[in-house]
Amino acid sequence: MSSYFPDSEMKTESPVSGVSRRDFLKFCTIMTATMGLPAGMVEKVMAAVENPKRPPVIWLHFQECTGCTESLLRATHPTVEHLVLDIISLDYSETLCAAAGHQVEEALHASVEANKGNFILVVEGSIPTADNGIYCKIGGKTAMEILKDIGPKAAACVAIGSCASWGGVQSAYPNPTGATGVSELLKEVPVINLPGCPASPYNILSTILYYLTLKKLPALDGEGRPVFAYGRLIHENCERRPHFDNGRFAEEFGDEGHRQGYCLYKLGCKGPETHANCPSILFGDVGSNAWPVGTGHPCFGCAEKGVGFHKPIHEQAAVYTVAPPATYPDFDEPKGKGIGVGAALVVGAAAGAAVAGGLKFSKVLKESDNSEEKKN
C-alpha cells in the first residue's frame, strides 16, 4: 500500500486537521475492516474517499438548537434519507453520526484531509466570540478555533439558519456571548447565507442541487442569500396582500377580520421588511396555509437581520416597498392614473407618503384609520 502514496506525501502533516497521510491510511484500513469488507478494498475505500462520487458534506453544529437539521427530517423532495444515502456523503454530523467521541472526530479529520478544497461545509449555529469563545466547545476546541481550522479548507460554506447567517436568537440584545454569523469570521471561501429560524429545508436542498448540477453557486443578493429563495419580501408574495392593499386588517387574534383571513399588518406582521420565500413554498408539504401568516400569526421576521428577535412581535413593521396603486387602472390606461376611492385610496396614499418621507408606515396608517372612521 505504500505505493499508493508517494513517500513525500505520506510524511505530510495536515496543518489544519492534524491528520497525517499515514493516519488517513490507517483510518481507511480500520474502516474497511469494520465494515466487513475484504482487505483488498482498502484502496477502493481510499479512492472513494478521495475521489468521491457523492460530494462530501461536513456539517458543523455550533451555538444552535439543531432546528435546521430537524427541518430536513420534514422534507419530502428529496427526503433526508435519500439525501444522505444517495445524493451527498454526510461525513460529519453530530446529530446523525453513528460514531461518537474519538471515533467521530477521527472520521471528521479524515474527510477534511481527503477532501481539502472539495467538500461543502455546512454550519448550523452562531459562533460565540466573547471571552475567547469559551461558550461553545466541541472535543476541547472552541467553535471559533474549529471554524478557523476547517472553514478555509472547504470549497464553499453554507451558513444554514439565522444563527449561522447573522447570529440568530442569541445575538439579541445584550448578546451575552458575542454570537456572530459565519460570514463575519470566514473570509477565505464563499459563504452562502440561508437565514430563517429554521430555514426552509428546501433552501439548503435547492442550494445543494443547484451546486451539483450547475457546478456553480446560485446567484446571491447583497446579504449572501440566494435570490431564488430570498429575492423578494414576504409582503410581495403574501396571499393576504390584496387585503393590505384594500385596507382590510385583523385587529386582534380571533376577531372577525382575523377569522376572515385579513392582513396581519396591524398585529405586527414583519412581512413588509423580511426577505424569504415562506409564502411561495410554505412548510411541511401539507398544502395551503402552512406558514405563520396562514395560521393567523404575524411573521416576526425570523430570517431578517435586525428584525427577528430584535423587534417585538406586535410592533408594526417598517414598509419600504412602493405603495400599491390607489385603485387599479383600466387595462388600456397608463398606470398610475387611476382614481382613488375609499380605504384603498387612503392606505395606498399613506404608504406612498411613508416611503417618500421615510416615515414609519404604522404612524401614517393610524391617521388613515381616523380618516376612515370619520367617513364611516
Q: Where in 95-154 is the site for other proteins (CB under 8 A)?
A: 95-107, 110, 128, 134-140
Beta pairing, strands 127-128 & 89-92: unpaired
Residue 233 dihedral angles phi and psi, to the nearest 5°: -75, 150
Of 260 and 371, CB closest to other proteins: 260
Binding track, positions 14-33, relative to other proteins; x by CB under 8 A: -------------x--xx--
Q: Minimal distance in Å, beta carbon 168 to other proteins?
A: 7
User: Rule CB under 8 A: is residue 45 a binding residue for other proteins?
Assistant: yes
The Cβ of residue 93 has, within 10 Å, a number of other Cβ atoms equal to 18
Nearer Cβ to other proteins, position 128 or 151?
128
Binding mask 330-349 for other proteins (x = CB under 8 A): --------------------
* Residues 6 or more apart whose Cβ sits within 8 Å of residue 114: 24, 46, 49, 50, 56
What span, in angstroms and rounded, lies between the C-alpha atoms of 52 and 330?
59
Bridge partners (DSSP) of residue 220 are 226
CB 204 within 8 A of CB 194: yes
Following CA atoms 20, 25, 30, 33 in sequence, which dihedral angle do they give, to the nearest 10 degrees? Answer: 170
Q: Are 196 and 108 in contact (CB under 8 A)?
A: no
Distance in angstroms (rounded) separating the CA atoms of residues 99 and 26: 17
CB atoms within 10 A of CB 63: 23
CA distance 7 to 179: 44
Question: Looking at 1, 13, 227, 259, which residue binds other proteins (CB under 8 A)?
Answer: 259
Cell readout for 292 is: 405563520
Query: Cβ 365 to other proteins, closest distance in Å?
Result: 21
Stretch that binds other proteins, among 61-69, 207-215, 219-227, 338-346 (CB under 8 A): 61-69
**Binding of other proteins by 301 (CB under 8 A):** no
Q: Which stretch binds other proteins (CB under 8 A): 152-160, 206-214, 252-260, 350-358?
A: 252-260
* Residue (71 or 368) nearer to other proteins, CB: 71
Host H or E run for residue 102 = helix 101-114
DSSP assigned state of 184: G
- Of 16, 84, 209, 353, which one interacts with other proteins (CB under 8 A)? 84
Contact between 63 and other proteins by CB under 8 A: the answer reads: yes
Confirm or reject binding of residue 93 to other proteins (CB under 8 A). Answer: yes
* 69 contacts other proteins (rule: CB under 8 A): yes
Binder of other proteins out of 6, 34, 219, 333 (CB under 8 A): 34
Which region among 4-12, 281-289, 325-333, 351-359 touches other proteins (by CB under 8 A)? 281-289
Measured CA to CA, the distance from residue 262 to residue 271 in angstroms comes to 14
238 binds other proteins (CB under 8 A): no
When the beta carbons of 112 and 364 are compared against other proteins, the nearer one is: 112
User: Is 213 near other proteins (CB under 8 A)?
Assistant: no
Please tell me whether residue 61 binds other proteins under the rule CB under 8 A: yes
54 near other proteins, judged by CB under 8 A: yes
Contact between 271 and other proteins by CB under 8 A: the answer reads no
User: CA-to-CA distance for 22 and 34, rounded, in angstroms?
Assistant: 18
Q: Is 57 buried (19+), middle (13-18) or exposed (0-12) by CB count in 10 A?
A: buried
User: Alpha-carbon torsion 93, 208, 231, 262, what sign?
Assistant: negative
Tell me if 244 contacts other proteins by CB under 8 A: no
Q: Which of residues 155-184 bind other proteins (CB under 8 A)?
A: 168-170, 172-177, 179
